[in-house]
């Protein structure tokens, strides 16, 4: 299983805090997962998840590009952190 978490404004806009998804045997990467979520949940999700500067993390480590996912991974989507 993959645990997908949504934080802050992303959670509010999607109306969803988390999802548990099966991890396919054929392999999955972060970009593929994001595209799958957009395809399954529609343009509203696409608008949110494809925002500029969306932060993605795998197992609590921010990922700048793409990476392979494995069973048991925790994936998080959240807006950029700001503050002073």
Question: Is 10 inside a domain boundary?
Answer: yes
Note the residue count of the chain: 84
Residue-wise pLDDT tens digits, 51-66: 989 999 999 999 999 9
What is the residue range of 17's domain?
2-78
Task: Name the domain count of the chain.
Answer: 1
Question: Is 83 inside a domain boundary?
Answer: no
Residue 8: which CATH number? Answer: 3.10.20.30
Question: Is 84 inside a domain boundary?
Answer: no
Question: Is 25 inside a domain boundary?
Answer: yes
Burial of 4-39, coded b for 16+ CB within 10 Å and e otherwise, reads: bbbeeebbebbeeeebebeeeeeebebeebbeebbe
Structure pTM?
Answer: 0.92
Residue-wise pLDDT tens digits, 61-80: 999 999 999 999 999 999 98
d(CA 57, CA 80): 12
Question: Is 49 inside a domain boundary?
Answer: yes
């Amino acid at each position: 299983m993959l645990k997908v978490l949504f934080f802050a404004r992303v959670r509010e806009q999607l109306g969803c805090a988390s999802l548990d998804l099966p991890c396919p045997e054929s392999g999955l990467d972060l970009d593929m997962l994001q595209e799958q979520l957009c395809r399954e949940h529609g343009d509203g999700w696409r608008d949110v998840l494809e925002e500029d500067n969306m932060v993605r993390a795998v197992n609590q480590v921010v990922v700048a590009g793409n990476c392979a996912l494995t069973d048991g991974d925790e994936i998080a989507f959240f807006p950029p952190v700001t503050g002073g």
